[in-house]
Structure formats: C-alpha cells, structure tokens
Amino acid sequence: MHQVLFLTSPQLLDLKKVFGSAPIIYSALILMSVTALVIWLYGMFTFRAKEIMPETFRKELRSLLEKEQFDVAHQLCEKKTISWLF
C-alpha cells in the first residue's frame, strides 16, 4: 500500500469577506469592543487606591493587623463598610 501525503496550506480568514457578509453587525461589534476597551483603560488610569480608604482607617487597620488582633480588625472593616454605604 502506498501512503499519500496531502500538503495543505493553512486556512486564513479573509476579513473582507467576513466583514462584507454582515457589515452592520461587525461594525457594531467593533464599536462596542473599542468602547469597552476605552472605558476599561479610563478606569485603570483614574483608579486611586488612596481615595478608597481614608488614611486614618488604614493606619488603624494596619496597627490592629500588626498586633494580630484579627477579630477586632474584621469588626472594624465591617463597621466601616456599612458606614461607607450610607
């Protein structure tokens, strides 16, 4: 028996054909993707961790954790979380 080798070229997507088949849908998808990327980048560049927790709270929490008073630190976090919500 003879073995036959088939050499095939890799399949490449023809983006013009794909986009041409449904231009409205793909335009909307591209627009939404770019918008999501811009919103994500904006969030990354404007994120400030220091503004999330006041410095006094961080110092108090750090001192409790250094003293290994984990239950008190947990209660402090729960108390602060509730006060920040309202």
- State the pLDDT at residue 11: 73
Q: What is the pLDDT of residue 86?
A: 47
Contact 15, 29 (CB under 8 A): no
**Quick check: 53 pLDDT over 80?**
no
Cα separation, 30 vs 86, in Å, equals 39
Average pLDDT, the chain: 82
**Per-residue confidence (pLDDT) for residue 17, from 0 to 100:** 86
**pLDDT score, position 31:** 97
Return the amino acid letter for 49: A
Q: What distance in Å separates the CA atoms of residue 65 and residue 43, rounded to the nearest whole number?
A: 30
What is the reported pLDDT for 41? 94
Report d(CA 80, CA 23) in Å as an integer. 51
pLDDT tens digits for range 11-47: 777 888 888 888 999 999 999 999 999 999 998 888 7
